[in-house]
A = this chain, B = another copy of it.
Amino acid sequence: MSDLPYPEHLRTLVEEYLEGLRFGAGGPMDRLGEAMRYSLLAGGKRIRPVLTLATVESLGRPLPPALPTAAALELIHTYSLIHDDLPAIDNDDLRRGKPTCHVVFGEDVAILAGDGLFAEAFSLILERQEGSAGLKVAILAEIARATGVGGVVGGQYIDITSSDAGIVDLRQMHALKTGRLIEAAVVCGGLLGGLNGDSLRPYRAFAAELGVLFQIVDDILDVTGSDQQLGKTPGKDSQAGKATYVTQFGLRRARELADEARVRTEVCLPRLSGRITGLRAVTAYVAGRES
């Protein structure tokens, strides 16, 4: 399974779409738009939009109409990274192998660039996503919930307070901080592919397991990876006294937990309909990032 190549055709679609986005109509906001594009176009595997497209593909639907929603998820992910990296939060100066937004553009501009990406993500779906108003409302509700207190923001909050709190519930923290947006990416793909209600359930289950797998591997890479491999400063989380799978369980047990999570994710795959090669390939990539 780990021989499956990453679905580069999906990543290319995402990348080209993102490169075509402009923020601000010129004039005094040019540099703000530049800061937003700097972080947005810094590369990365584009796992969230690729998951959306892979889900749409598995359901036999055309991909280009799904791009506004897929891209919006990457805008939101980038916004959360920019704010996460700020001096007041993680204080990281390296991300995706490049100096972070606040290092290049200043802290004030970085805060606003994150805020701007969040708002523009919603506009992208509202103004460019094809489909009924009902479909847009379903997509937006999923994304708003995944980014709020019961999602990314809540998870980041638990993360920044985890060094004081002693043992935290790692699974809950990651389910919110990382898992919830990964789940939204798959669910939005399902919605765009014509699913709803109960038919989305196996997709949520798959995405939840994939999110756990993603985070355990991320914690392992934080201590075993080089900054080149990670594109961010390694060892930050463990040095900051933050709770990670490695600090709580040790490296060896964390690797076992990653393997268990991979198996649980793979078990979910056959329950999805259609041609799931793309989703299988993303799973393989997420599981194999350590090697």
Contact = CB atoms under 8 A, between A and B. Distances in A.
Nearest to A127: B141
Question: Which has the most chain B C-beta neighbours within 10 Å: A108, A136, A153?
Answer: A153
Interface string A226-237: 000000000000
Nearest to A90: B108
Contacts of A118: 115, 118-119
A120 to B, nearest CB: 5
A126 B141 contact: yes
A29 B158 contact: yes
A154 B89 contact: no
B24 A112 contact: no
A123 B137 contact: no
Question: Which has the most chain B C-beta neighbours within 10 Å: A23, A112, A169?
Answer: A112
Nearest to A172: B28
B133 A33 contact: no
A109 B127 CA distance: 32
A285 interface: no
Interface stretch (A8-16, A45-53, A143-151): A143-151
A132 interface: yes
Contact of A107 (B28, B88, B123, B127): B88
Interface stretch (A62-70, A160-168, A198-206, A259-267): A160-168
Contact of A83 (B24, B115, B154): B115
The copy count of this chain in the complex is: 2
Given A132-B133, A133-B134, A89 B116 contact: no
B111 A150 contact: no
Given A111-B111, A126-B140, A119 B153 contact: yes
B148 A32 contact: no
A116 B153 contact: yes
Contacts of A126: 137, 140-141, 144
A157 B32 contact: yes
Contacts of A123: 141, 144-145, 148
A116 B149 contact: yes
Interface in A91-120: 106-109, 111-112, 114-116, 118-120
Given A24-B150, A119-B152, 5 more contacts: A31-B157, A33-B149, A115-B153, A126-B144, A133-B133
Interface of A: 23-25, 28-29, 31-33, 36, 83, 86, 88-89, 106-109, 111-112, 114-116, 118-120, 122-123, 126-127, 132-134, 136-137, 140-141, 144-145, 147-154, 156-158, 160-161, 165, 168-169, 172-173
**Top 6 A-B residue pairs of the complex, sorted by shortest distance between their CB atoms:** A119-B148, A88-B107, A133-B133, A122-B144, A126-B141, A116-B153
